[in-house]
Chains A and B, each alone.
Chain A
Amino acid sequence: MSTKIRRITAGISGLAATAFLASCAKNAPQDTWQPKGSNARTIDNLQEPVFAIAGVIGVIVLCVVVYCVIKFRDRGQAMPEQTHGKPALEIGMTILPALILAGVGVFTFRTVFELAKTSDTQMVVNVTGQQWWWEYDYPAQVELGITKPIITSGQMIIPVGTKVLLRETSRDVIHSYWIPALNGKRDAVPGRVQTLRIDADKPGIYAGQCTEFCGLSHANMRMETVALSKEDFAAWVANQLTDAKSPADKTLAKEGEGVFLNQCVRCHQVNGLKKADGTPAIAAPDENVWAGAAPNLTHLMSRNTFAGASWDLLSQKCRADVWGASSETVGKKYLAGVSEACLNQTDLRRWLRNAPAMKPMYSDPTKLTPTNGKYRGMPNLGLTEDDIDKLVAYLSTLK
């Protein structure tokens, strides 16, 4: 075997081995081949046969090409007789792909229309993208126990087996919402409302990723959908409908509340938080952030992640416990929220110390003129370690 052929064989073997090993990944929460909801399954039912057909055709074409390259390679032989036109073959090679594509097209269109169906929606969630996190607000839906709107971010909670309609939009640039296990992707476009339907067969946590390049921290714009049993969902709703309670006087958390009122409430809303004069503290992200919004932190510790679902609020051990839980137990574990023992203090403190160092949001804070001085994400607030201690203590109370 010549050196050249050996090299080619080694290269192809290496690629094949890489592809094979990649398919063995155990922890692949964004695997499009493992649908966990009816819409994702509808897509899967189309993509599997299409992939098989395309694969077979691809292999045949590749084999023919390789055969021709080897069989008719230049050995210094005379130029063969040149011919032009072979009507039967040409017509056949036109009709056959056309028929295959028409067949694929029929099933694709059927799938597209099936996925677009929204008439039997059972629940609605407004999903709003901005650089670089997702906000979810739930309109009042009394039959689901949502007596007034709920707002959260990073993790969207849905009841299992419920057809949920996402009304997607964006406050700044185009984003794209994608939870591979539950459905395909849909762009969130400023000024438009696009709909996407999802539902989950079983309780669990389903990971996703913004799939439209949206700026510096596009890669850090993650999202998770948490499907809970109907009972667990009702418990989650009941908790979300409550306002935050002020910590007891003369505690570190109470001092943290003061720091929060001084520093954080400019952008972050905590429902129920009152200023020293007793009036509600209203956040004004519209005056400080380019997108005009920042995550509502009223129930921060009821979710497992922060900063666009890119970092865990749970320590590694506790996170593994929740994510690895069975569908029967995941709801209870999720609803337990973030206990003091489970809080990932390391990342939370790093974030409070210098957020842009963890998640690039603006290249140079001295050059905010194009955005009228407004930030595209959380700035470095220059907090002291003392302030950070107090803030962590306060944030821990936001269950």
Chain B
Amino acid sequence: MFTPGSKLFLGLTGFAVAVSVIYVALVDNSMGGAVTLLFIAAGTALLAGLTLFNRDGDVAVGATDAPAGAEQLTASLWPLIATVGFVGIVVGLITHPIVFLLGLIALLAAGVEWLVQSWSEGASSDNAYNASIRGRLLQPIEFPVLALVGLGVVILSFSRVMLAVQREAGAIIFIGAGAVVLLVGTLFALKPNLKKTLVVSVCVISAVGVAASGIAAASNGKRAELVAANAEDHFSHKDCGEEKNAHFDGTAQGTISLRSSVDATVELRDGKLIAHELGIDKATQTITLTKSNNATIIFRNKDNKEARLTAYLGTKAVQTGVVEEVLDCTQMIGKGHEQALTFKIAKPSMASVKPYTLTVPGLEGQSIEIMVP
């Protein structure tokens, strides 16, 4: 009833289940390890089912015309990879979890590949046939995984390049790369008789080129402004004052695509600040926002001077007896530019001694009051 292949996988399944039970009972009852082992059990059970279903690839093991265990074994790299994986696990335990993870993946992958290869080589004396049944079993897994890894490498490499070059150059590279991909893809589509080796060569060389560029870019580091912004914690700290900040304001975007779900629009024009609330036609100096809810305000600068919109959102206690103002702001933007500002006010207006406001730092006598009922 059971084929040799299914016996092997059923044995592994039973072993994994037994180990998971022992693991929970003796090692760790937090279930994390047991879940991993049970996943392995599920995987081997699936393989057992598959081999049982297709009777080990329809190979009549032991038949006189297909003697099992023929001596024409092929060379295998899997033992070497398994060893590398094992070493990775050990080194990873000492150094870094990512090394451990990569080692584990290598060990598991090598283990499965090695097992299936050994099993398939015992199927018949015909190496080509053995390779085909191995492929039938493993290629549905290998191809998607390799494609995913390949794509990941290309994307990661490309992202390193984009982080290393200047912003303007990045845009040109992005457009150029996209255009080349489109052009080459169109060429391939229009010339279906192109040699397969040529197509594969172009793809492989391109991928290697992108990967090499990525490695070079990563070793070169991110562009200076990003390094400086990281060093000054620019991404978590906003400078909401009158002065232009080299980093916070350095990468200001002047356009936004947001058009719906805007609570109000605030415009700076001729030195005056005016607001328009959603649904109310006329300009106003007060807007009403619901409390404990994100509100989005669009700021449009129609003045000649660069400006930012700063929201005063009350105070918060930073330590006993010490309170500081809560501010949020857009970046400094020039004439004709716009930015969105999203914030939340948890307490009604009556909770704040000073009214909640929207102002432009440096512009005296102009403010929009935020009323929170």
Contacts and interface: CB of A to CB of B under 8 A. Distances in A.
A358 B288 CA distance: 34
B347 A165 contact: no
B277 interface: yes
B350 A139 contact: no
A191 B278 contact: no
Interface string A135-147: 1011111000000
Contacts of A296: 373
B170 interface: no
Interface residues of A, number: 37
A296 B348 CA distance: 11
B280 A292 contact: no
B186 interface: no
Contact of A271 (B288, B291, B350): B350
Contacts of A126: 288, 290
Nearest to B288: A139
A165 B279 contact: yes
Interface string B254-296: 0000001111000000000000011111000011101111100
Interface string A187-219: 000111111000000000000000000000000
A220 interface: no
B280 A124 contact: yes
A269 B348 contact: yes
A275 interface: no
A130 B281 CA distance: 28
Contacts of A292: 291-293, 346
B351 interface: yes
A171 interface: yes
B201 to A, nearest CB: 49
B8 interface: no
B293 A148 contact: no
Contacts of B281: 119, 121
B278 A140 contact: no
Interface in B325-346: 346
18 contacts: A121-B281, A124-B278, A126-B288, A135-B290, A141-B280, A149-B371, A150-B373, A151-B373, A167-B263, A169-B290, A171-B292, A191-B261, A193-B261, A282-B347, A284-B347, A286-B347, A293-B291, A296-B373
Interface of B: 260-263, 277-281, 286-288, 290-294, 346-348, 350-351, 371-373
Interface of A: 118-119, 121, 124, 126, 128, 135, 137-141, 148-151, 165, 167, 169, 171, 190-195, 269, 271, 280, 282, 284-286, 291-293, 296
